[in-house]
Amino acid sequence: MEKSLARKTGRARRSLISEEDRIRYDRILLEMMKERALHAGMIGCYVSVRDEADTHAFLKWCFASGRKTAVPLVKDGTLEFHEITSFSSLKEGTFGVMEPYEGRVVSPRELDLMFVPLSAFDKNGNRTGYGKGYYDSVLLPSMHKAGVAYPEQRVDHIDADPWDIRLDEVLVPEI
């Protein structure tokens, strides 16, 4: 499936998920994310917005347990990560996403684990985001790259370009 169609399909399906299913999915995803994060030194994580798979509970767990956590802000056509220890370090930024306004800048090379948002994904680890390529610009072979998604966002195949970075796994709650 062509990327723009996969993106549109995934986003449309995600928007139709019932509140009840979303709550169940997010509860399962939280446990999956915590399990992956147990042995990571520095964790990169998106701050969910609108109907994306929720990361707020995971970030709250990171802060409470003292996990080193960095979140992105859009800067100069890419993402810049800042280490934060609470939600009070965030303010509304690009595209209505909560972004850090303080905290130590963290190089992508310091991130052991990256939780990546997506609009659609396939069984081969290909993903579509929102079409700007921000995450592709910071994903490295050395980090573990995990998409966070709902089952409805799965498509059969995404026509990936050579510059698209594949995920190592996609965390998907199966109910």
Given this model, what pLDDT does residue 2 score?
96
pLDDT at residue 72 greater than cutoff 80: yes
Please classify residue 131 by burial: count the beta carbons closer than 10 Å to its beta carbon, then call 0-12 exposed, 13-18 middle and 19+ buried. exposed
23 or 141, which is more confident? 23
Encoding tokens for residue 163? 């510059």
In the chain, % of residues over pLDDT 70: 99
110 CB-near residues (< 8 Å, 6+ apart): 41, 42, 70
As a whole number of angstroms, the distance between CA 107 and CA 82 comes to 9
Residue 20, pLDDT score: 97
d(CA 117, CA 27): 17
Mean pLDDT of the chain: 95
Structure tokens given for 153 = 């966002």
Mean pLDDT score, 22-34: 98
Predicted confidence (pLDDT) at residue 143 exceeds the cutoff of 90? yes
Structure tokens at 171: 């965390």
Q: What is the pLDDT of residue 77?
A: 86
Confidence band for 136, pLDDT divided at 50, 70 and 90: confident
Q: What's the pLDDT band for 69 if we cut at 50, 70, 90? A: very high
CATH, domain range 3-171: 3.40.50.10420
Sign of the torsion angle spanned by Cα atoms 129, 93, 30, 63: positive
The DSSP code for 130 is S
Which residues are CB-neighbours of 27 under 8 A, at least 6 positions away?
none
Residue 84 has pLDDT above 80, yes or no: yes
Confidence at residue 157, expressed as pLDDT on a 0 to 100 scale: 97
Domain boundaries, the chain: 3-171
User: What percentage of the chain carries pLDDT values higher than 90?
Assistant: 85
- pLDDT, residue 80, reads 96
Q: Distance (Å, rounded) from C-alpha 175 to C-alpha 161? A: 32
Closest listed residue to residue 38, CA positions, set 61, 72, 14:
61
